[in-house]
């Protein structure tokens, strides 16, 4: 009999958690342990619950989530913790990660994933914690809306670095650990958060379209390369998601322009909507692979087709 999500969440809030933090850059690791003497059977069941392979030996499962300092990444880390997973939250901003660790009890690692040395340090850190069963490649970003002709090549380089090359770096670094966790009848997961911008071109997409198309292609190639291994390769491609930073970064800190993106849009998606899809996909039985999940709000029919104002039936 499985443990309900409510029971797992309640047990998680009662249990002690291990906190390991990494500083900026390569990060000197500081261990900090807290424990609760009276650990109930419910707590143990919650931490040992294996939602995607119930027939396997029940052990705690670990997921690495990148871009976890805000938005979709932070929401995903929270939801995995509520489901009883051990979570390693990765991002550049230590103070944001520390706040997330205080809130959820997740492990944290500060790193710039465009730096190979820092990615190597992340791998060593995760390996020291124990088996890793899933990787959520969520870190990424868009810079500007310039045309192909007028776009700054440096912006394009940044977008390819964070959306493509960094994802390749992290995936390559952690793949041996994921393989090790998939032995003896188990499985592992690599889920990459891309975008509908990686599937449909639109004016103003420019370098972001190009980078996200490349990221989607990389995921598809990886799925072919890993065919025959018990490793699922999944892709979640969100449309319009109202988060605190995506559009703000894209418009170089111009809050008015960032707010205008979502102005009068009835119920754009929020980070928690995407987190639900990510956790659901990874917690499905191990033989079920959601190759591609595209998620848009009802008000968005395409990247360039967004309804502003009340949705009404045509009677």
Assess contact for 271 and 241: CB atoms under 8 A.
yes
262 carries an active-site annotation: no
Assess contact for 58 and 50: CB atoms under 8 A.
yes
Burial 12-37 (b: 16+ CB within 10 A, else e): beebebebbbbeeebbeeeeeeeeee
**What is the Cα–Cα distance from 66 to 138, expressed in whole angstroms?**
5
* 3-class secondary structure per residue, 115-169: CHHHHHHHHHHHHHHCCCCEEEECCCCCCCCCCCCCCCHHHHHHHHHHHHHHHHH
- From 125, 202, 208, 262, active-site residue: 208
Smallest CA-to-CA distance from 135 within 113, 167, 112 is with 167
Catalytic residues: 208
């Amino acid at each position: 009999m499985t443990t309900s999500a409510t029971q797992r969440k309640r047990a998680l809030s009662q249990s002690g958690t291990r906190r390991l933090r990494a500083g900026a850059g390569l990060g000197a690791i500081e261990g900090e342990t807290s424990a609760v003497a009276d650990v109930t059977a419910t707590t143990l069941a919650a931490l040992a619950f294996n939602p995607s392979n119930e027939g396997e030996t029940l052990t705690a499962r670990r997921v690495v989530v990148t871009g976890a300092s805000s938005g979709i990444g932070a929401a995903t880390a929270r939801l995995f913790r509520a489901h009883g997973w051990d979570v390693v939250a990765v991002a550049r901003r230590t103070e944001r990660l520390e706040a997330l660790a205080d809130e959820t009890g997740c492990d944290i690692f500060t790193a710039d994933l465009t730096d190979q040395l820092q990615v190597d340090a992340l791998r060593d850190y995760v390996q020291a914690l124990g088996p890793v069963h899933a990787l959520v490649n969520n870190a990424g970003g868009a810079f500007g809306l310039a045309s192909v002709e007028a776009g700054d090549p440096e912006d394009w380089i940044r977008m390819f670095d964070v959306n493509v090359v960094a994802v390749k770096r992290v995936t390559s670094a952690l793949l041996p650990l994921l393989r090790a966790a998939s032995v003896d009848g188990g499985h592992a997961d690599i889920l990459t958060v891309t975008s509908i911008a990686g599937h449909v071109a639109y004016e103003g997409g420019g370098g972001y379209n190009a980078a996200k198309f490349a990221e989607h292609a990389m995921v598809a190639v990886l799925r072919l390369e890993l065919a025959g291994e018990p490793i699922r390769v999944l892709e979640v491609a969100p449309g319009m998601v109202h988060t605190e930073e995506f559009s703000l970064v894209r418009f170089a800190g111009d809050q008015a322009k960032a707010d205008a993106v979502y102005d009068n849009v009835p119920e754009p998606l929020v980070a928690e909507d995407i987190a639900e899809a990510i956790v659901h996909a990874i917690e499905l039985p191990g033989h079920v692979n959601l190759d591609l999940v595209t998620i848009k709000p009802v008000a968005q029919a395409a990247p360039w087709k967004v309804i502003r104002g009340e949705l009404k039936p045509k009677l």
